[in-house]
Every structure is written in structure tokens, then in C-alpha cells.
Amino acid sequence: MNLQRLFRPERIAVVGASATEGKLGYEAMANAVEFDGEVYPVNPSGEGEVFGEPFVESVTDIEETVDLALLAVPAHVVPDVVEECGEAGVGGAVIYAGGFAEAGGEGEELQEAVVAAADEHDVALLGPNTSGFVAPASNLLASFAGGVERLRPGGVTILAQSGGVAHQLAFSAHREGRGIATMVGLGNRANVGFEEAIPYFDSDPNTDAIVLHVEGTDDGRALLEACRESDTPVIAYKVGQADVGDFAESHTGALTGDHALYTSGFAQYGVPTVESTTELFDAGQALANSPEPDGANVGVVTAQAGPGIIIADRLQRAGATLPDLAEDTQDRVGEILPGITYAENPVDTGRPMPEFGDVVEAVAEDDNVDAVLVYELFEEALGFPQETLDGLAERVDKPVLFATEGPAESMADDLAALREADVPVFTSPERGADAAAVLARYATLDDAAADEEVSADV
Amino acid sequence: MSEDPIAAAQADGRTTLTEAEAKSLLAGAGIETPAFSVAADADAAVAAAEEIGLPVVVKVSSPSVTHKSEWAEGAGVAVGLDSADAVREAAAEIFDAADARGIDADVLVEEARDVDAGTEVIVGGLRDPSFGPVVLTGLGGIFTEVYEDTSHRIAPIDAAEAREAIEELTAIELLEGYRGREPADVDALAEVVAAVGDLVNEHEAISEVDVNPVLATEEGAVALDALVVLGGE
């Protein structure tokens, strides 16, 4: 199934568009008209215009071929509307309404009818039971939620099983000055699920990392295989650890919870897993903006010992290693900072100083180090080592992450400048360490998954 | 037992293999099992024990008995039998108990292994509705459910991946030797884990394989008990 017309349309129609404020068809239309391409409001009982666009009676009446239809209509009419969309040559549809498979019984039958109509006409369906998707780079706001027009473009694509979680991740990213490539709520996954969406966004030039929110899917193996096939890094947050599934008579069944299979399977197929939405987006941000690390060796530079110790502790517990620095790196650091408190790893400069950037550079250039994590409290007189950090990751070809804290008002401009330079920035030692640890796990898992593929070819 | 044990069970309309059938299946997949023989009466059991060499274990063998050690107030499994009389008595007790319950039963006579000479491990395979063939390993014996120290893999896997799965267990410290005990042959155990994954992967009829315990010793890994469940279509 080709998802290009669903996720990257040129023309869209809002079926069930309404001029009545507060209605789903009004909110969907209000967002849709932000789109850079053409937008057609469709409603047989609509009169005149809505947001400056004249109402059309049916998608089949639109002369140009519509790529994407946003269906702001009640559940029971969705099968007919999808059929109509198919006849009109529409390539993709977003179904906002709930009351389908998630409701059981008649809802399941309704969903089967929708899928049958869609499959017959090759229409890719997002949903039902989703709040939609958003692609900020083309102002494509295929979501009825308010505020999505504020989301900014970035490199991370969010594929969430729940539209609510997709929006939560997107808004928390926005609050921290980060952008997203595409935010997708998959909902009921009627005919577009993880295994269809992952390959699509793997080939999407705007997507540098894919983050997954997974509650459970019918075909876990297809999800894992899609992840392994993806050249774009994938990270997953599997929710639902407490549910251990049906207890079986014998040992093997009883010991095999669904969650255990997901987490083992993700690791086996090269996908690091995380335990919170914060960790998910932080890791996605780090992977999207960094060269891929070669291994799990992290060099830590800190201007304050306490946060440095938290970072060192947390990194090692999460499976990263803190290698000794090469002797010439130690000499370089010693020359920059005579009488330094601790020049091994972490390097602790004791306090922020004008030469802090030179220390970061020395550690980043060390061949023993696969990734760098820097922590420094913001000091107004010094600012951040902006000049060093800008382009450093590309030059040394390894991730360089920056964690900090300070008064929001005074460091706002400097933080924005770092983000503008694509430096992954985190606002606590733990968040920085967690993101670096996921990078380390990604490097080691990626190796293992690659080995497996090699052995499978033999 | 030259015929395919899965086909034999299916021909009978059974969804579980007898222990002898399960062990034949495992042996065919390259997994070590103790020498065994199925006997239809007490005399045959004694003859089998002499052939295998004492001491032996005698167990009930019947499609109607899945949990042998709980069956007939413990008569279902007799261990450490080191004389012909002891074998005859254990076998007679099983046949009597089977008669009393109105079921058809044979006895399985099996070479005894010293479980104290190694670590008991569980190796399981199953066909998950979402992930297909999967394999798990964990600490076996009476501790399986207490510690739930298990690690899972999506099958099939090679022996290196199986070894990684074993090394994730907390019980790896037991397997690597403690208090002067010799380390277990983890590579042999890894071969068992990989082979169980292959079995589930290759035989669509299998819904679950439960090898508990596998005895891991310094000399290898041997399947002491096994249950194979077929898909109940």
C-alpha cells in the first residue's frame, strides 16, 4: 500500500466540514485550511463558504483528484463515505470517529465494512478512532486538536498507537523548542499499522528518527521486521508491563507475558526501548540530530561534580561504559586546566570557565569515546560553548549531547541558538544521561541485529 | 519409536505427546535425553531397567496424564530405583493406579541422572498469536515460578543468540559455577535453547514445548522431562 498520498498529499478534502464553531467538522476545517495545497470543504447540506472555501456536495464533484480526505462524519456513515472517496480516486483517508473495532460487536462489523470499501479502491486509512496526524513542514494539520498549528518542523516522526499520546509527545516537544517531522496517531490501524507506516517514514526525507508508542498489535513479528528493515533509527516505548496475558496451564505459557516478548523482540531486532514519553522523545531527538554512534563508550564532561556523578552512575546502570581517556587527551585537558579536579572520565572542570569548550573538544576528539555528554549550569557571563558545539558532532562523527539548567529567561536565547545548531539539549542530568544511554544501547543492539542479518544470509 | 511422534499423536486425536514421544522428538532435534524405554507390564519394565542399567526412574506414560508427579498421590514418578524388585514394585503400583482410574497406561523406564550434579533449567517454546514461534529459558525446577527468572527470544535463533539469552538470566551465576562447583556447559545449554526454537519454528502443529528440567552440568545439557502440546484445532 502506497502511503504517499495519505501523508504527503497535494489536495485535501474535509468531508463533513462545518461552518458551526465547536463542531468537529469546523475544527478539522480550521486546521486543514492552513495547508500549503488546495483544501475542499465537502458537505451536501453546506451552503456558501467556510474559511473562504466554497462548499462542495460530494468528493466525486471535485474536478481535480483529491489525495487525502479527512472524514469528520459520524461512524455509521463512514463505510459509504469511504466508498464514495474510492470512486472519486482519493488515495488516503483519516477517520476521526470512534465506535469501531475498539467498541466490539457492531463496531467490529462497521470497521470490516470500511476496510472492505477501502481495500477495493486502494484507499489507505488512518484510524478509525484517531485524532489524526500533523506534518508541520507543509502546514498539513490533519488533526482536529487545537494548537497544532504551533508545532514546528523537525527531524523526529512520532508513530503512536494513541492519537492522544502522539499529541502529548508533539506538544511536550514544542514546549521545549523542538520540532517534529510528522506526528501520527494510528488509532485502530484498520489498514495502516506500524508495519505499513514504518517503511513509509523510513523513506521520508524529512524523517531522521522514528519513535514508536506501542500498546499492542495483532502482528508483533511484522512490527519487529519493519523496525529491522528500517535504515532510519527506531526507538520504542511499549506500554502495558503489568498485563501478563492469560495464564496458561504449563510453565512456558505462564512465563511468557506479552510485554516480555515485545521488549525482548525489540532488543533482538535492534530497537532500544524506553520507559516514558519523556525518554522516548529525548532519545528520538538525540538520534535524529546525531551521527550514529559506533559503540557504547561515553565521554562525560561536567562543570559541576554532583550532576557529573549522577550522569556517570545513571549511564553505567543503563549499560553504557565510561572508557578511560587516551593519554594525549588527558595531557591536553591537563594543559587547558592545570590542577584540574578530575581529568579522567568524567572530566570535571569544577566550575564553568571560558576554556570549557576546549575541554569538550578534547574529549570529543578522543578515539576511545563513541559519544559525548556535556553538563554545565548556565552562567550569564559565559554563556554556552556555542562556537565549539556548533558542528562538532559532524566533525568528530559522533553524538555530542548537551545537558544544562539555569534561569529559563536568561538562558532562553543561548538555548535557542544551540537548538538552531541541531545540538540535542536536555534540561536535567538524568534526561541527558538517559538519552546518551539509549544511543549507547542503539549502537550495541544495532551491531547485534546486523550480525543476525549476516548470519541469516549464509 | 520409529514413526513421527507428532503424526502418531495426531492420528490418535491427542493434543499432548507422551513423555516418550516428546523425548523422541527432542532427540531427533539433537537434544540429549536419558536412555529410556516404554514398557507395557511390570516384567517388561524390569527387563528394560536391566537393559538401560540401574539405577533408573519409572514414570507413568499415558496420554491422559500430563502432570505425572502429582498423579495418583505421587505414584506417577518413582526415582532412584536401584534393584529389579524396586522397579517391579514401582511399575506395579502405576499399573494398579491406572486400573483403579480406568485409564490406559504404560510405564516409562529411564536412566537415572543425579539432579544434584547440575543446575535445573527450563527451556520452553511456544507459538505466540502475535509473535509466532518464541523460545524462553530460565531457572528451572521448583524455583521457576518463585523467581520468574526468564529471558525470551523470537525464534528461530542461532546458538550465539541463545547464549546471550542465557547470560541475561540472574541464574547465570549458578551456571558459571559457585562455591567451587564446576561451571555448566553453557554452550550445550545454548544448543538446547536454539533447538527448541527450531522445533517450534519448523513444526506448525506444535503450540508449546516445555522442557523442564534441562539438567545443565559440566558435561552437557540433558532434557530430563518434556511436554509437547499440539495446536488444538
Q: Give the 3-state secondary structure of B158-213.
A: CHHHHHHHHHCCCCHHHHCCCCCCCCCCHHHHHHHHHHHHHHHHHCCCEEEEEEEE
User: Are residues A250 and B210, on separate chains, in Cβ contact within 8 Å?
Assistant: yes
Chain A contacts of B227, Cβ < 8 Å? Answer: 250
Annotate A232-252 with b (16+ C-beta within 10 A) or e (fewer).
bbbbbbbbeeeeebeebebbb
**pLDDT surpasses 70 at B100:** yes
Assign A244 a pLDDT band (cuts: 50, 70, 90). very low
pLDDT of residue B140 exceeding 90, the answer is: no
Q: Which residues contact A226 (CB under 8 A, 6 or more apart)?
A: A194, A195, A198, A199
As beta bridge partners, residue A359 has none
- Count Cβ–Cβ pairs < 8 Å, chain A vs chain B: 77
Q: Say what the pLDDT of residue A276 is.
A: 96
- Out of A253, A265, A269, whose CB is closest to B126? A253
**Which band of pLDDT confidence, cut at 50, 70 and 90, is reported for residue A280?**
very high
Cβ(A60)–Cβ(A37) below 8 Å = no
Asked whether the predicted pLDDT for residue A114 surpasses 50, the reply is: yes
Q: What's the rounded Cα separation, in Å, for the pair A300 and A312?
A: 8
Looking at residue A388, its pLDDT comes to 96
Q: How far apart are CA B90 and CA B10, in angstroms?
A: 30
Which residues from chain B sit within 8 angstroms of residue A458, using beta carbons? none
What's residue A455's pLDDT? 46
Is residue A322 within 8 angstroms of chain B, CB to CB?
Answer: no
What pLDDT does residue B116 have? 86
pLDDT at A242: 64
Cα distances (Å, whole numbers) of residue A245 to A185, A215, A241, A242: 25, 13, 10, 9
Q: For residue B141, what pLDDT is reported? A: 74
Name the grid cell of B216: 545443565
Residue entry with cell 543446575:
B119
pLDDT of residue A156: 98
Contact list, B212 vs chain A (CB under 8 Å)? 251
pLDDT classification of B40: cutoffs 50, 70, 90: very high
Q: Which of A29-33, A281-285, B11-15, B144-148 has the weakest average pLDDT?
A: B144-148
| Residue A250: band (very low, low, confident or very high) from pLDDT cuts 50, 70, 90 | very low
Note whether A453 contacts B: Cβ–Cβ < 8 A: no
Q: Best of B65, B128, B161, B166 to disrupt the A interface by mutation (most A CBs within 10 Å)?
A: B128
Contact B213, B186 (CB under 8 A): no
DSSP-based three-state secondary structure for B131: coil
- Average of pLDDT values for A249-276? 82
- What integer is the mean pLDDT of B44-68? 92
Distance CA B168, CA B150 (A): 8
Which band of pLDDT confidence, cut at 50, 70 and 90, is reported for residue B167? very high
User: Is residue A456 scored above 60 in pLDDT?
Assistant: no
Ranked by mean pLDDT, the top range of A30-39, A244-253, B178-187 is A30-39
Q: Decide if pLDDT at A360 tops 90.
A: yes
- What pLDDT, on the 0 to 100 scale, is given for residue A259? 87
Query: What one-character-per-residue DSSP string does A215-275 give?
Result: S--S-HHHHHHHHHH-SS-EEEEE--TT---PPPSSHHHHH--HHHHHHHHHHHTT--B-S
- Among A residues 386-415, those touching chain B with beta carbons less than 8 Å apart: none
| pLDDT (tens digit per residue) in A302-328 | 999 999 999 999 999 999 999 999 999
Band (pLDDT 50/70/90 cuts) for residue A68 is very high
**pLDDT value of position A458:** 36
- A 229-248 residues with CB below 8 A of B? 248
d(CA A73, CA A41): 12
B158 CB neighbours in chain A (<8 A) are 452, 455
Instruction: List pLDDT tens digits, range A42-52.
Output: 999 999 999 99
Looking at the predicted structure, is the pLDDT value of residue A160 above 50? yes
Q: What is the pTM of this model?
A: 0.92
pLDDT-derived band at A454 (thresholds 50, 70, 90) equals: very low
In angstroms, the CA B90 to CA B61 distance is 13
The total of other beta-carbon atoms located within 10 Å of residue A231's CB is 7
Residue A296 makes CB contacts below 8 A (sequence gap 6+) with A319, A320, A321, A370, A440, A441, A443, A444
pLDDT classification of A246: cutoffs 50, 70, 90: very low
- How many Å lie between the alpha carbon of A260 and the closest alpha carbon of chain B? 7
The mean pLDDT value for A196-210 works out to 98
Helix (H, G, I), strand (E, B) or coil at A93: strand
Amino acid A256: pLDDT: 67
Chain B residues touching A219 at Cβ < 8 A: 130
Return d(Cα B199, Cα B226) in angstroms, integer. 13
Determine the 3-state secondary structure of A292 from DSSP: coil
Residue A101 to residue A108: CA distance in whole angstroms: 4
Q: Would you say the C-alpha torsion A332, A338, A342, A348 has a positive or negative sign? A: negative
A248–B210 C-beta distance less than 8 A: no
Chain A positions touching B126 (Cβ under 8 A) are 252-253, 256
Q: Tell me, what amino acid is at B105?
A: A
